[in-house]
Amino acid sequence: MHIGPHQLSNNVVVAPMAGVTDRPFRQLCKRFGAGMAVSEMVASSPHLWATHKSARRVDHRGEVDPISVQIVGADPQMMAQAARHNVDQGAQIIDINMGCPAKKVCNVAAGSALMKDEELVRRILDAVVGAVKVPVTLKIRTGWDQQHRNAVQVARIAQSAGVSALAVHGRTRACGFTGDAEYETIAAVKSQVSIPVIANGDIDSPQKAKRVLDETRVDAIMIGRAAQGRPWIFRDIKHYLATGETPPPPPVSEVHVVLIDHLHQLHAFYGGEMGVRVARKHISWYTKELTDSAAFRQCVNRLATAREQLAAVSTFFIRLAQRSERISYAEEELAA
């Protein structure tokens, strides 16, 4: 799959997730085989660019190409300015957020709220595509609510504007993350445009990945929350798509190594105190299906230093290794 001049190594992509797809997470997912990882959304407002949060979100040092950065906003010229700024900071692909359902985003007419105004969608896309020489991609939902599904219309607008690829989360904004993803709507979008289309929503296993690819005929799939605490899902999907064989879940010894490395990267990226806080949610995701994990999480969430956190994680996994446990996919508990 190509996005502009960039040929992806495969058609499995990491979804942009606020508070999750930071540089350490993107690097880890790419290491496990993701063909591309989209950054956390970066605000289009220039006065926010100087904050520590924004500075971290545009830090791509050591990241494997292509570097895709998502921007969010509702003003065409500010979005164009944000696109240029992020290209100057190293972005090789600019992704536009028209899919976020969060109230604080939609309340300022950004994210998925933009799908209510197709003319504004057109103006934003024209402005951003015209502002930068790198490919521009777009992420949308199927519509604002079930009575106003307009993903096909927005996809046509995107193609006309010169957008290089389109990701569709198979839910309306009103659905949030509830209910089943509308793969039939994603298939309809794919049938109506010639640019690459990426399916997102409820893809939580290798088998589901293949089924969505087969049913929708999309060019790629995008994995979101199913990758939290299980970055090896990209390796497993690649293996299953290539061989038709379901790989065994990773042993806890491998999960231990992956998590410890991830924690080191988080501590270094955010600094000790904040790194420990950010790491807590990742520890929870990695361990939630393991024996005695609830009591362990309560304990580790009270620890204040990186050294204590790393020691507690190692102790927990050493005990588990003696039981020869493996991580398993719990499809009913996951949603992309």
Catalytic positions: 100
CA pair distance 235, 7, nearest whole angstrom:
19
List the beta strands (DSSP E) in the chain.
Answer: 2-3, 6-7, 12-14, 36-43, 67-72, 93-98, 136-141, 165-169, 197-200, 220-223
- Both structure tokens of 193: 């445009």
Q: Which long-range contacts (CB under 8 A, 24 or more apart) does 215-218 make?
A: 215/183, 215/187, 216/183, 216/186, 216/187, 216/190, 217/187, 217/190, 217/191, 218/186, 218/187, 218/190
CA pair distance 110, 106, nearest whole angstrom:
5
Cβ atoms within 10 Å of 70's Cβ, excluding its own: 27
Radius of gyration of the chain from its Cα atoms, rounded to whole angstroms = 20
Distance of CA 10 to CAs 30, 163, 181, 234, Å? 11, 20, 23, 10
